[in-house]
Chain A
Amino acid sequence: MKWLIIPSLFLGSLTGYYSNKHKEKPYDIVGEICAGADGFNGHCTWYTCFSGYTCGGGGVEFKCLRFGGNVIDP
């Protein structure tokens, strides 16, 4: 089995995926996670949200994948 995107270590930490990424890269990752199109935090559907419905709240930052270049680390 090969992970394309590493599962979040959500039980330990909701941001486990990101910290895991920086510590080690045991799997192939499709793209880097970056603070891109949905990088605003705390905000709603109207302006920031791709799904129309998932958005940040209380400082939770939702990240997007960017392929190709100009990767910005969170």
Chain B
Amino acid sequence: MNNAKIKELITSTKYKSSRWNYLFRVNNKNYIYNTLSCGFGELDDKALVLLTKIMQSESYTPSEKDVSLLTQLIQGSIVVPEKTDEINMLKFLSYKRRFSDSYKIISLTIVPTLDCNFRCSYCFQNHQQTTDSDYMSEEIQQAIIHYTDLRAKNESKRISVCWYGGEPLLASDIIERLTKRFLKIAKKYDIPYDASMVTNGYLLDEKRIEMLKKWKINDLQITIDGPREIHDRRRFLVSGKPTYDTIIQNICSITKEKEFPNVTLRVNVDVTNEHYIDDLIDDLDRNHLMDKLGVYLAPVTSTTKSCGDISKILFSSKEMIEKDIRFVKTLIDKDLVVTMHYPKMSVTQCMAVCPESDLIGPDGKLWPCWDVIGRNEESTGNIKTGHVYGDTYFKWCLWDPFQDEECLDCKVLPICMGGCPARRVPLNQEYFTAVFQKKCSRWRWGMEEYLKLIIELYQKKMSKAKTDEKK
């Protein structure tokens, strides 16, 4: 379409402002962020005047001189044609992504064992005496391979596996065998294979670091709960022995490798360890790790009876965004690399409501969500026989935030999509404690403050670029 036609099209349409805009001022400058497009921009005076006019009018007819600015506002979904039904547009995108089989990605979370070498004070998995049946049998492994082969044959575009546990590295032999078979399938159908792993990091010695390469692990997530004395009080071995020094040493070894996977440190926080996070950051920095890792805070949550009554020490989502902001500010103050999650549209929420993703337990049971592993009443089937298309399966995969009036009125809906399904879907037995029953995500409570941090980082980056240029 040529420029004249675009101009004609724009000026012949009436516009309104999007329901999903955040407009705010920082240091006498105006900024706009839209939760659907996730565009984030600085508005100059002209753009602000035009946007204000559109906001004041439910149906704005643009003139020719508006076209250039209006094009940018339209591109960011900050302004939309008057007749646009934004809720239904989002609904359409969500349903299309969730239920279309055109994406053809085989996304598997595999739990080769629920056994764990740790006994974390807040763990949701109920560890008792370990037996052989806690490890995935050859029969289940074969069933997974058969299932993957069938799906790969059907024009799949990628195989993506996440190893989860228990502690998956306790089942290295199973991971080794399954990876070899996955790679064969990937080669047979000429599709890429990638993998990630959630591990406590304790067993990542040099031998296993070499194995990570063979297993094509691109992403590793390791949990550290604070500096040594705090972490060791919370995350210890079955024997009660400490784990911090070994984990840090292992992470240092991984990052010394020429090509190491992306390593993310998850720092679980609650009332009892939040004041020690700065000490952890200092320690990671002393070990020259801060520029090699992504570090982020995650709330400890109570998900099962085995969590015990820990609700008094948990943070709500509103409190968590405050912790996040403070955490990022600390990194900025210390002039360290900052890893931030940019608030981005999520049309699928997560695998729990996405029929094409599978979570397979060591006994072959299929689960909709990581949070309900081990709860037999929430299992949706078995890898050997497939899903049982009954109430449990459908209550997860058909759960719909568009049925919730409060969500429809909320500006962060395109990003949070109704929140964690595990906190929304009615469970067959109720476990969650009061704090995390609350459905809303952190974004609802601290979006503007968070976006202001991005501006601060942007300005810092620009200022540094100017200084470097002068040099």
Task: Please classify the interface of chain B as helix (H, G, I), strand (E, B), loop, or mixed, using the class held by over half of its residues.
Answer: mixed
Residues from chain A with Cβ under 8 Å of B416 in the complex:
51, 53-54
Q: B457 touching A67 by the CB < 8 A rule? A: yes
Interface string of B387-402 (1 = CB under 8 A from A): 0000000000000000
Contact with B along A32-58 (1 / 0, CB 8 A): 011111111111111111111111111
Q: Which chain A residue shows the least CB distance to B220?
A: A40
Of B1-9, B177-185, B279-287, B339-347, the one contacting chain A is B339-347
Chain B residues lying within 8 Å of A1, measured Cβ to Cβ, are 41-44, 47, 69, 72-73
Contact stretch, chosen from B55-63, B131-139, B242-250, B288-296: B288-296
Chain B residue with Cβ nearest A68: B337
Q: Nearest Cβ in chain B — how far from A62, in angstroms?
A: 6
- Other 14 A-B pairs with CB < 8 A, given A1-B72, A66-B338: A1-B73, A10-B345, A40-B221, A43-B370, A48-B266, A52-B317, A52-B419, A53-B419, A57-B348, A58-B98, A58-B103, A58-B348, A62-B341, A66-B340
Contact (Cβ within 8 A) A46 B37 = no
A-chain residues with CB within 8 Å of residue B42 when the two chains form the complex: 1-2, 4
- What is the CA–CA distance of A1 and B78 in the complex, to the nearest angstrom? 12
Bound state CA distance, A65 and B415, in angstroms?
Answer: 16
Bound CA span A10–B34, Å:
12
> What are the residues of chain A within 8 A of B73 when measuring CB–CB?
1
| B67 close to A (CB within 8 Å) | no
Q: What are the interface flags for A1-29 relative to B under an 8 Å C-beta threshold, 1 for contact and 0 otherwise?
A: 11111111010001001000000000010
Residues of A within 8 A of B354 (CB): 42, 57-58
The answer, among B351, B371, B420, B460, for a CB contact under 8 Å with A56, is: B351
A70 / chain B contacts, CB cutoff of 8 Å? 291-292, 337
CA distance A28 to B292 in the complex (A): 24
Contacts of A57 in B (CB 8 A): 98, 107, 348-354, 357
Partner of A54 from B43, B355, B417 at Cβ < 8 Å: B417
Q: Chain B 86-106 against A: per-residue CB contact (8 Å), 1 yes, 0 no?
A: 000000010001100001010
A52 touching B320 in the complex, CB below 8 Å, given contacts A30-B458, A45-B350, A58-B356 = yes
> 3 tightest A-B contacts by CB?
A7-B39, A59-B105, A7-B37
Count of residues in A whose CB is under 8 Å from the partner chain: 52
Residue B441 lies at the interface, judged by CB distance under 8 Å to chain A: yes
Is B75 on the interface with A (CB-CB < 8 A)?
yes
Question: Within the assembled complex, what's the spacing in Å between the Cα atoms of A35 and B73?
Answer: 28
Q: Which chain A positions have C-beta within 8 A of B355?
A: 58
Interface string of B436-452 (1 = CB under 8 A from A): 00000111000000000
Which B residues are CB-close (under 8 A) to A17?
Answer: 38
Contacts of B148 in A (CB 8 A): none
The reply to whether B41 and A4 form a contact with Cβ atoms under 8 Å apart is: yes
Chain B contacts for A59, CB-based, 8 A: 103, 105, 107, 158, 160, 356-357
Closest A residue by C-beta to B40: A5
> Is A35 a contact partner of B219 (Cβ separation < 8 A)?
yes
Q: Is the beta-carbon distance between A42 and B162 smaller than 8 angstroms?
A: yes
Tell me if A58 and B422 are in contact (CB < 8 A): no
A-B contact pairs, 6 of them (CB 8 A): A34-B262, A43-B351, A53-B416, A56-B351, A62-B344, A64-B341
CB distance from A61 to the nearest CB of B (A): 9
A46–B342 CB distance below 8 A: no
Are B341 and A50 in contact, CB atoms less than 8 angstroms apart? Answer: yes
Nearest-Cβ distance from residue B40 to partner chain A, whole angstroms: 4
Given A7-B76, A58-B354, the answer on whether A31 and B266 have CB atoms closer than 8 Å is no
In contact, A4 and B454 (Cβ under 8 angstroms):
yes
B172 within 8 Å of A (CB atoms): no
